[in-house]
Structure 1
Amino acid sequence: MAPRGRDTSRAIWGRLVCVLVATQLLAVSAGSSSTGKCRCLSTESCWPSQAAFAALEANLSQPLLAPQQLAKPCYDSPTSDECQTVQQSWTDGWWRSNSSHSAGGTENTNFAAYSAPDGHIEACFLNTTLGYPCLQGSIPTVGVDVRSVEDIQLAINFAVTHNLRVVVKNTGHDYFGRSTARGGFLIWTHHLKNITYHDTFKPSGAPSNGTVYSDAMTLGSGIQWQEAYDAAFAHGRDIVGGIAPGASVGAAGGWVQGGGHSILSPQYGLGVDNVLEMSIVTSDGKYHVVNAYQEPDLFWALRGGGGGTWGVVVSVTYQTHPSTPILAAFFTTSITTSALNATTTASATLRTLLTEFVRVAPAMTDSGWGGYGMIEPSSDTGERALSYVGIAPASASNASAVMEGFFAFAQQLAESASPEDGALNITNATIVALPNFATWETALFRGQTGEVGANVELGSRLLPRELFVNNQTAVADAALSLEVPYVGFYVVAGGAVSRVDPDSVALNPAWRSALAHVVFSAGWADGASRSTIDATRSQIKQSEAALRALTPGGGAYFNEASLYEVDFQQTFFGSHYDRLRAIKKQYDPSDLFIVPEGVGSEDWDADLNCRA
């Protein structure tokens, strides 16, 4: 998106003034709840004046933002070209990140809504015929479109001065709602788009005999993985990164701060294992360049200690890897059975197939396979079935044999399974040799839509390798017992992930003994009642409890997990939490940066607005 010029600032201020007037009137009628222990929200009389915002804007490189809901053009003018674009692009993550209204959007729409204490929901639904008004919901009313360190410092200092609720956002791809908050003040990093390729890279402050790295890349915190991949591919290199239709995942923000899993992780480790240096502005307005030599405690915390918690990340420098030939596996099935009933959600055939998948998963990661298994209703029968897509280095001597062995088992099962157990139809079971990861990523994910634009909540658990080796049936049974529409077996641990010192980064040590990240999701239609939403959330909680019972004392991936963890400190950070808490107090003593289930959030109320 091209930067908005100063000639458009009057229009922006016109909308902003309306918002400010409305919120001031609300504050007068409702009274201000802002006290010394609470943040000041836009619905309260303590909210900064128009003059204060004008003074801030005068020093920024860009006009202030007045974020709005993505569907709002269809309420303002249903027949407009702008509304048509919204309707056509609703499930396109790239559009949601880059549209002219994207500062106010979230990749999953439920986090743009607001559930009021009395049960009613404020949102802005794409379907205007539902009869609901388009309301601001949880979208902040004012934001800063930062383009430099100085912009970030100005925004942070303003927020500290006025005691504002701060949220940091790039794309809005976030299953916790960490990048939005009702009544908050938004710091939008999306236009920090610098990419620098280093033939050689020596971290700042390194001694003369310090390690010099070759082929590193520094990414601004507004970069999305599609952009990062293109830069790496242009140099004949691969980089450990996220995968999503529509390129909605940021490359140098919450993804890496939460750990950053990748289909390349069994080969090269997690995102945090590939970071050489980071830069950040903390709550005191200071700019830090951190690495193994400079402020190593903060560098440690940023690698797995959770996004939105430590400050505003400006950039991340990654090690890249040589681009080499790969094998790509594709496996899809459908199942039809006459034996399913109201209390049976999985066929015997699916149970047998999944148990075998669990059994061979250790051999997959040992030979370099990384990939995504998915259990969901098949399109042709509507009954749950298993699919898988994965890649492995072509140089791995046994990678092809391991996958072919699983395919052979599936074929034998298809030939022998009875209709009562479930007739298995294998629609694809192929292994393809490709020249590089770039060919695979470009073919599968460029120009794709999906995953975004709906109401979705998640739960997850890291399953240790020991379970896959010694108790495959328990793993399969637990996964199939989850009463949710989608269960993912993301085999993105093991291999190189398991060979990293668990204490070298802040990431939960449970990752180092895990083999798979099992994630499940459920959602609801726009306009659903609070009771329907609560019932869906109950499914998430029950499913989470089932996997927790399978892995007592285990962990989950901070970026794709549940908002209802009973012990988030242990689940997301494990034995590292106490050290993280101490570093948090050092670098953010006022808790300016607080996110749901993040470090220090236990000291705040459920809305993260007032100290508990």
Structure 2
Amino acid sequence: MLSSHAISAQATVKLPLEASDDTPWQDLADVVSSPDVLTGPTDLNQWYEQCVDPFELEEIPPEWNDFGYAVVSNYDLLNVTSGLCLDFVSCAFQNCIWPTPEGIDSFPDFPIWDFDTNQIRSPHALLPGTGDDFLAAVLSEEAEPFHNFPARVVNPRVVADIVHAVNFARTNEIGITVKVNGHSYFGSSSARKTLLVKMSTYYPKYDDLGSLMECLDYETELEEDSANYMACALASARGKNAILRVGGGSFFDHAYRAVSVTWNQNPENANKYHLVGGGAGSVSAAGGWMASGGLSGTTGMRMYGIGIDQVLHLEMVLPSGTHVRFGPSEWDEAPGMITPQTTQVTGFCNYQWEMPEEDWEWTECTGDDADIDFDELWFAVRGGGGGTWGIVTSLHYQLHDYPGELYLMSNQPGIFAGYEELAADINAVYTLTLLYVRFALGFLYQPSSMNVTEAESRGCNSAKTFGLNPFVPTTLFCYGSSGPKLIEAWAEYISGDEQLAALTAAGAPDDFIAILPTLFQLPELTAPSYADFGIFSSSFDPLWNHQGRIPDNPKASLVPFIDGFPSLADSTNTHFPLRVVEEQFDALTELITIDTLYAGDGQLIYATGGAIPYADDGLNALSPTRRFAAFQKAVNNETTRSRYYELFYSDADMSAPFPGQACHNHAHVYEMGPLKDDWTRACSLDWPQATREELCIAQGENFWGTENLARLETFKDVIDPDGIFLCAAGIGYSNPAVEDETFDSEGSLGSFPKEESEDEEAVPDVAVARQESPGDGED
């Protein structure tokens, strides 16, 4: 018997509307602000030259480096004249999968998964000589139905360009896709024969001097009901003293500089501030990153909440073409919450959108606009996914008081040199790993058990950089006193009587035990802020540091690539609920230890928890699972994933609304939830996608949870009845099933490895692993 969770999967949905051959593009060209605003039609040779050719290596490197990267940065691809480059080249094809129709067999033959070594080689480079064959295949008649290129690109300079584009698309029944830099694992930044609005080329970024405003005297200095006044009023109610306005074309390299460089380094400014944002400098500050939730593992989301929790006021163009701004105007204090609960959202309309910005008039919305439900718009835009509700033209973020210096805390597995033989002693390796996992989860989620305060614990953050294997170097981003406290807490913990007895019983030598308290040490690398670390650190590998900008990570690649795997799996961001850490600590830590040593899954976690459950304003679309998660972790082995699900859902009422599981910031277009009738069982990757969609919890429910999804779908029909804004993995988007061979481990470049059965008798390789650079990513 199917549960209620089949409803959304079986609902009628639509694909993005395609432009016709006789679309009157000149009508749009006649009304935009300058000739360079509208570009196209798509030139595939130009796309290849600008977006693909940079990935072709001149020669095969004698040894792949740790990442196997061709040095291609999103900063390089950002403003090419075609406007077509995406973070992942394969997203130029539908569903970000290389096309493999019958007759096309000339795509480059390089393994993204090497079955001989069971390791990734390189999804980031074309091998020498493959480019010509690849281009020929792209240009072939057989490949054309798989193309995901827009019909035209709009590069707006002013808001009038956006309004004209939306009105034109609606009149001519053409879908609109939205891109800032193209950081979408779903490929949602482009769609076949749509009108692409690319915000980052010319649109204002508001990152110059003056975009940061202190709110200390806002009631006397600002006009009531102005955007700055409303943003400051809400910031003040939250105990914050400053705001930052970012533009629709801004990315975090701009936003961080405005705070940490332009403001904080100005000696005339007495107060210093801190911005919570994404880890990649090339990720948009007002686009899909925020709209999908906004992970902030490098900049303190465990202290302050995630991206959507920082938003104070929004300005956007709706699917109707109406230019609006809106934000909370009434709120209630809630015991135990660090953010007041929003009770009313007030919005205004600008009917002077063709005028320069200084001449705009924000007034009460009239006519059909009088019915805009700004409460629901506030709910949907913050967490309900980007490219779905309209186009954000600017927003205001709250800023936090400066939290102190940033410590890049790393464990030091080099202390184990000389103890290589110990790796063959599974008892000692297992015991130390178990103790390390217990410490890590205790420090982060049960700090009192480690004699650590909540504030000290929350000061340490991780953007999938902190691992659960003591033999592998990993990193925590710790602010203020949290870094030194981590060192102290580890030394005290591992020297405890219970831990010493366990290690001794496992056969660990006394001299080995004696060095364990030094596993964490004060780092050589500290910085005033994450921006300073990224821009000015001379020790940062130039492979990642692009001309002194905030690091671009992950860098551009040929295929979506998450946690060491091509991202077609359902496992890229399994969320571990806080309640499981609290209620089943022993069982969880034991399973994670086995997972880390035997299953070969990702060892790095994205640490959430902390303040995130208490930063909720009560009116956003983040799923309950994401809000109340302790951390995310890659679990690529299906059997292991089911074992985790047994811990998560064994006592759940499976006829109740599903709470969600996946992270909309980092997932793939084929992401599915567990089985509809048994949440403790993972959806099998061996099934055809059509079968997966029939038997497994639908993608939307997996992202937002059953109740949030229903609310978002209802509002989508109201705010965008014509379906102008549909994009991959967004509300209302159809996720068409694919042929079985797409999931063949020996198939195309879009395939991923078949899962191997666990061999729990094997000796784990504890010395070899790869550390990812932080990436907080959807555009």
CA separation of 1:79/1:319 partners in 2, compared to 1, >3 Å: closer, same or farther? closer
2: distance between equivalents of 1:80 and 1:209? 51
Task: Look up the match of 1:489.
Answer: 605
TM-score between the two structures when normalised by the length of structure 1: 0.73
Task: Look up the match of 1:551.
Answer: 648
Task: Look up the match of 2:460.
Answer: 370
Task: Look up the match of 2:573.
Answer: 460
Task: Look up the match of 2:339.
Answer: none
CA separation of 1:606/1:140 partners in 2, compared to 1, >3 Å: closer, same or farther? farther
Quick check: 1:111 aligned with 2:91? yes
1: distance between equivalents of 2:161 and 2:180? 15
1: distance between equivalents of 2:431 and 2:92? 40
* Unmatched 5+ stretches in structure 1: 1-35, 82-86, 521-538, 608-612
Quick check: 1:564 aligned with 2:600? no
What pairs with 1:284-299 in structure 2 (closer than 5 Å)?
A: 284-292=320-328, 293-294=346-347, 295-299=374-378
Task: Look up the match of 1:307.
Answer: 386
2:408–2:477: 8 Å Cα contact kept in structure 1?
A: yes
1: distance between equivalents of 2:554 and 2:55? 25
* Unmatched 5+ stretches in structure 2: 1-12, 59-67, 109-124, 140-146, 219-223, 265-272, 329-345, 348-373, 650-658, 674-696, 739-779
Selected match of 1:221 from 244, 248, 260? 248
Quick check: 1:596 aligned with 2:693? no
2: distance between equivalents of 1:484 and 1:170? 35
Selected match of 2:474 from 376, 381, 387? 387
Task: Look up the match of 2:263.
Answer: 235
What pairs with 1:419-498 in structure 2 (closer than 5 Å)?
A: 429-431=521-523, 434-442=527-535, 443=537, 446-447=545-546, 448=551, 451-454=554-557, 455=559, 456=561, 457-458=566-567, 459-476=572-589, 477-478=591-592, 480=596, 486-494=602-610, 496-498=611-613
Given residue 358 of structure 1, which amino acid in structure 2 is its aligned partner? L
Given residue 630 of structure 2, which amino acid in structure 1 is its aligned partner? L
Displacement, 1:583? 1.8
Query: Which structure ranks higher in relative contact order (CA pairs < 8 Å, sequence separation ≥ 6)?
Result: 2
Displacement, 1:75? 8.4
Secondary structure class of the residue paired with 2:714? helix
Greater strand fraction, Structure 1 or Structure 2 = 1
2: distance between equivalents of 1:376 and 1:318? 31
Quick check: 1:93 aligned with 2:177? no
Q: Deviation per CA, 1:103-162: give whole Å up to 9, x if none.
A: 212213332345447375897974451252323743334211122221112222222233
Given residue 47 of structure 1, which amino acid in structure 2 is its aligned partner? D
Bigger mean CA offset, 258-267 vs 425-434: 425-434
Displacement, 1:258? 1.0
Displacement, 1:168? 0.9
Quick check: 1:176 aligned with 2:189? no
Displacement, 1:357? 1.5
Between structure 1 and structure 2, the one with the greater Rg is 2
Q: Deviation per CA, 1:342-363: give whole Å up to 9, x if none.
A: x99x966445423432232212
Secondary structure class of the residue paired with 1:320? strand
2: distance between equivalents of 1:570 and 1:74? 34
Given residue 303 of structure 2, which amino acid in structure 1 is its aligned partner? Q
1: distance between equivalents of 2:324 and 2:467? 45
- Count residues with an aligned counterpart: 529
What pairs with 1:113-262 in structure 2 (closer than 5 Å)?
A: 113=93, 114-116=97-99, 118=101, 120=104, 126-127=126-127, 129-130=129-130, 132-134=133-135, 135=138, 137-191=147-201, 192-195=203-206, 196-200=211-215, 204=226, 213=236, 214-233=241-260, 234-236=262-264, 237-244=273-280, 247-262=281-296
1:488–1:518: 8 Å Cα contact kept in structure 2?
A: yes
Task: Look up the match of 1:16.
Answer: none
Q: Deviation per CA, 1:156-180: give whole Å up to 9, x if none.
A: 2222233223321111111121112
Selected match of 2:38 from 22, 46, 64? 64
What is the CA RMSD across the aligned residues, in angstroms? 4.3
- Runs of 4+ in structure 1 deviating by more than 6 angstroms, as ranges, are 74-81, 121-125, 205-209, 335-341, 375-378, 410-420, 422-428, 540-543
Displacement, 1:92? 1.8
CA separation of 1:198/1:207 partners in 2, compared to 1, >3 Å: closer, same or farther? closer
Task: Look up the match of 1:24.
Answer: none
Secondary structure class of the residue paired with 1:498? helix
Displacement, 1:384? 7.3
Secondary structure class of the residue paired with 2:320? coil
Bigger mean CA offset, 296-305 vs 593-602: 593-602
2: distance between equivalents of 1:73 and 1:501? 42
Task: Look up the match of 1:4.
Answer: none
1: distance between equivalents of 2:81 and 2:393? 22
Displacement, 1:587? 0.8
Task: Look up the match of 2:632.
Answer: 517
Given residue 105 of structure 1, which amino acid in structure 2 is its aligned partner? C
Task: Look up the match of 1:22.
Answer: none
1:203–1:276: 8 Å Cα contact kept in structure 2?
A: no
Q: Deviation per CA, 1:216-275: give whole Å up to 9, x if none.
A: 11111211111100001222221110112xx22111111111111213112221111111
Bigger mean CA offset, 331-340 vs 232-241: 331-340
1:159–1:165: 8 Å Cα contact kept in structure 2?
A: yes
Given residue 132 of structure 1, which amino acid in structure 2 is its aligned partner? D
CA separation of 1:324/1:352 partners in 2, compared to 1, >3 Å: closer, same or farther? closer
Displacement, 1:209? 12
Given residue 388 of structure 1, which amino acid in structure 2 is its aligned partner? T
2: distance between equivalents of 1:554 and 1:37? 23
Secondary structure class of the residue paired with 1:356? helix
1:63–1:145: 8 Å Cα contact kept in structure 2?
A: yes
2: distance between equivalents of 1:88 and 1:463? 31
Bigger mean CA offset, 169-178 vs 364-373: 364-373
2:51–2:77: 8 Å Cα contact kept in structure 1?
A: no
Task: Look up the match of 1:9.
Answer: none
Given residue 254 of structure 2, which amino acid in structure 1 is its aligned partner? E
Task: Look up the match of 1:400.
Answer: 484
1:306–1:598: 8 Å Cα contact kept in structure 2?
A: yes
